[in-house]
Amino acid sequence: MVASSSSSAVEASLTALAVSLRGVTKVYDNGVMALGPFDLAVRKGEFISLLGPSGCGKSTALRIIAGLGAPSSGTVRVARHEGEVQPRRVQPGHGIGFVFQEPTLMPWANARENVRLPLRLAGMPKADARARADEALASVGLADFADSFPRELSGGMKMRVSLARALVTDPDILLMDEPFAALDEITRFRLNNDLLALWRSLRKTVIFVTHSVFESVYLSQRVVVMTARPGRIQADIRIETVEPRGEEFRTSAAYSDYCRSVSAALAPSYSGRSTL
Ligand X SMILES: Nc1ncnc2c1ncn2[C@@H]1O[C@H](COP(=O)(O)OP(=O)(O)OP(=O)(O)O)[C@@H](O)[C@H]1O
Quick one: 34 or 166, whose CB is closer to ligand X? 34
273 sits near ligand X (criterion: CB under 6 A): no
Question: CA 234, CA 50: separation in Å to the nearest integer?
Answer: 11
CB of 46 to ligand X, least distance (A): 21
Question: CA 80, CA 77: separation in Å to the nearest integer?
Answer: 9
Question: Which residues have a Cβ under 8 Å from the Cβ of 174 and sit 6 or more positions away?
Answer: 96, 97, 99, 166, 167, 204, 205, 206, 207
Q: Give the strands of the sheet with 84-87, arranged side by side.
A: 33-43, 17-27, 73-81, 84-87
Tell me which residues in 215-254 interact with ligand X (CB under 6 A). Answer: 229
Q: How many residues bind Mg ion (CB under 5 A)?
A: 1
57 sits near ligand X (criterion: CB under 6 A): yes
Would you give the binding string for ligand X spanning residues 76-115, x where CB under 6 A is met?
----------------------------------------
56 sits near ligand X (criterion: CB under 6 A): yes
54 sits near ligand X (criterion: CB under 6 A): yes
Question: CA 185, CA 95: separation in Å to the nearest integer?
Answer: 31
Would you give the binding string for Mg ion spanning residues 159-198, x where CB under 5 A is met?
----------------------------------------
| 3-class secondary structure, 50 | strand
Quick one: 73 or 154, whose CB is closer to ligand X? 73
Cβ of 53: how many Cβ atoms within 10 Å? 20
Tell me which residues in 47-86 interact with Mg ion (CB under 5 A). Answer: 59
DSSP, res 164: H
45 sits near ligand X (criterion: CB under 6 A): no
CB of 61 to ligand X, least distance (A): 7
30 sits near ligand X (criterion: CB under 6 A): yes
Q: Are 15 and 80 in contact (CB under 8 A)?
A: no
- The residues binding Mg ion (CB under 5 A) are 59
